[in-house]
């Protein structure tokens, strides 16, 4: 137990350091946490203490996965049904193109430029076709765009993009079994009754029993997450759909959703973003930088060439178009999951896996950093919210803790 507390203290120390750096550099804290994770892993490797960080310990994987699930739920809860209905054409078109362009482009690059075999090339296309909901939502929170139609449109397009990735990944690599059927049926049933049962629970027990709404939501998320993993799917996709279904329920109490956000961003997501950074092998990148640059360029530029003209149909202002496009060019969760699946099932080699993970994580940093520094549409940002307990915003997130 002492060892666990020591590692946890080390990681939270890195999280505090990341917050300080993010404040002074004026960039997303999620990106800084990833970069700090990369540096920490490199230092530990240089000292011969790679295992000291504990990135692959079961409890660490649980905390990181919990952070991704809750952050994805919060992203879904921001999508008001009326806004999505108004933006249905936009999020659908942008999301589909956002998936198809890098999937086809990166698969072709892997096959014809890098000479990977067909299965490895297709897995490369899937892994690099994603958009990182976790990174994008973290940025939306810090900029305040999560409260605007602009930001909600980006989040909706991210969901469609990742949904396309999950579907194609399942069709190409994951067998459709009775477990898949059970997962779909149980999820559909729970989503149908979830709004009613959540309101009933709130009317009966809220404000009388300690944090019962939080316990209820986390119970649903973890339960569906376990069922999704058992069926061969991914927990974060179910979390996003639950968030969308409970969007109206969640918006009914702004202070409750803020407290849940504080728990997620203040404690859980640092483990997720820092851990993601520890999987980047700097020696592997240094040994063959050209492969890394080809794959990274293939992902980012195929996204840009596919999306920028399409987004121009919905957003005329230059900064809005570039910011939207670059955020859609990010990747993290589904990309690393796809790469790990390919490696564990001998679809890609360890070297190919290392390049894919490095490119996925780099795509979470580079496009977002450029978007934040060069194309932030400040005219769309809402006024800072200082209503919660009279406290100022901290990095765009109100701290009610």
For the stretch 277-322, pLDDT in tens is 887 777 777 877 899 999 999 999 999 999 999 999 999 899 999 9
DSSP codes joined into one string, 299-355? HHHHHHHHHHHHHTTT--SHHHHHHHHHHTT---HHHHHHHHHHHHTTSS-HHHHHH
| Higher per-residue pLDDT: 87 or 12 | 12
The whole-number pLDDT of residue 384 equals 65
The whole-number pLDDT of residue 394 equals 41
Q: CA geometry: angle at 201 spanning 196 and 206, to 5°?
A: 135
Burial class (CB within 10 angstroms; exposed 0-12, middle 13-18, buried 19+) of 90: buried
Question: Domains plus CATH for the chain?
Answer: 2-383+392-396 (1.20.1530.20)
Q: Is the pLDDT of residue 69 over 50?
A: yes
Closest CA to 28 of 110, 146, 130: 146
For the stretch 321-338, pLDDT in tens is 999 999 999 987 778 778
249 CB-near residues (< 8 Å, 6+ apart):
195, 198, 199, 202
CA distances from residue 302 to 94, 119, 125, 181, 247 in whole angstroms, order as listed: 13, 20, 11, 34, 33
The whole-number pLDDT of residue 396 equals 43
Q: Is the pLDDT of residue 156 over 90?
A: no
For the stretch 272-284, pLDDT in tens is 888 888 877 777 7
3-state secondary structure of 153: helix
pLDDT confidence band for 115 (50 / 70 / 90) = very high
Q: Are 292 and 324 in contact (CB under 8 A)?
A: no
CA 169 to chain centroid: 17
Q: Give dist(CA 47, CA 35) in Å, integer.
A: 19
The whole-number pLDDT of residue 239 equals 85
Report, as an integer, the average pLDDT of 60-78.
Answer: 86
pLDDT confidence band for 133 (50 / 70 / 90) = confident
The whole-number pLDDT of residue 209 equals 65
Q: Is the pLDDT of residue 144 over 60?
A: yes
Q: How many CA atoms lie within 13 A of 25 on its CB side?
A: 17
| Higher per-residue pLDDT: 262 or 208 | 262
CA distances from residue 382 to 75, 86, 377, 394 in whole angstroms, order as listed: 18, 20, 11, 15
DSSP 8-class letter at 380 = G
| Higher per-residue pLDDT: 44 or 395 | 44
pTM (2 d.p.): 0.76
Q: Is the pLDDT of residue 242 over 50?
A: yes
DSSP codes joined into one string, 354-379? HHHHHHHHHHHHHHHHHHHHH---GG
Closest CA to 156 of 226, 84, 251, 103: 84
DSSP 8-class letter at 198 = H
The whole-chain average pLDDT of the chain stands at 85
Query: Going by DSSP bridges, is the β-strand pair 397-398/393-394 parallel, antiparallel, or unpaired?
Result: antiparallel
pLDDT confidence band for 147 (50 / 70 / 90) = confident
Q: Is the pLDDT of residue 89 over 80?
A: yes
């Amino acid at each position: 137990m002492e060892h666990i507390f020591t590692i946890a203290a080390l990681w939270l120390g890195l999280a505090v350091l990341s917050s300080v750096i993010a404040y002074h550099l004026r960039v997303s804290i999620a990106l800084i946490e990833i970069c700090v994770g990369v540096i920490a892993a490199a230092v530990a490797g240089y000292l011969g203490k790679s295992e000291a960080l504990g990135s692959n310990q079961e409890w660490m994987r649980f905390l990181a996965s919990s952070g991704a699930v809750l952050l994805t739920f919060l992203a879904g809860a921001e999508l008001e049904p009326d806004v999505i209905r108004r933006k249905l054409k936009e999020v659908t078109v942008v999301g589909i193109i956002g998936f198809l362009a890098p999937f086809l482009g990166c698969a072709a690059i892997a096959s014809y430029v890098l000479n990977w075999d067909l299965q490895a090339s297709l897995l490369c296309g899937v892994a690099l076709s994603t958009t990182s909901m976790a990174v994008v939502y973290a940025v939306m929170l810090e900029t305040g765009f999560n409260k605007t139609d602009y930001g909600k449109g980006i989040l909706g397009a991210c969901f469609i993009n990742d949904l396309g990735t999950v579907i194609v990944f399942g069709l190409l690599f994951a067998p459709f079994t009775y477990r898949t059927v059970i997962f779909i049926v149980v999820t559909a049933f729970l989503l149908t009754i979830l709004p009613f049962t959540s309101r009933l629970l709130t009317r009966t027990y809220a404000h009388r029993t300690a944090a019962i709404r939080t316990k209820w939501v986390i119970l649903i998320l973890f339960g569906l997450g376990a069922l999704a993993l058992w069926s061969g799917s991914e927990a974060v996709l179910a979390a996003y759909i639950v968030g969308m279904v409970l969007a109206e329920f969640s918006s009914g109490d702004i202070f409750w959703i803020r407290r849940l956000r504080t728990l997620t961003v203040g404690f859980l997501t640092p483990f997720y973003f820092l851990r993601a950074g520890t999987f980047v092998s700097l020696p592997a990148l240094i040994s063959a930088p050209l492969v890394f640059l080809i794959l990274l360029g293939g992902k980012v530029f195929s996204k840009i060439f596919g999306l920028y003209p399409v987004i121009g149909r919905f957003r005329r202002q230059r900064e809005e178009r570039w910011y939207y496009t670059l955020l859609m060019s990010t990747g993290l969760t589904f990309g690393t999951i796809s790469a790990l699946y390919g490696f564990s099932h001998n679809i890609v080699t360890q070297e190919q896996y290392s390049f894919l993970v490095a490119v996925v994580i780099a795509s979470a940093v580079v496009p977002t950093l450029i978007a934040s520094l060069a194309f932030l549409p400040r005219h769309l940002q809402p006024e800072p919210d200082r209503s919660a307990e009279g406290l100022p915003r901290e990095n765009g997130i109100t701290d009610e803790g």
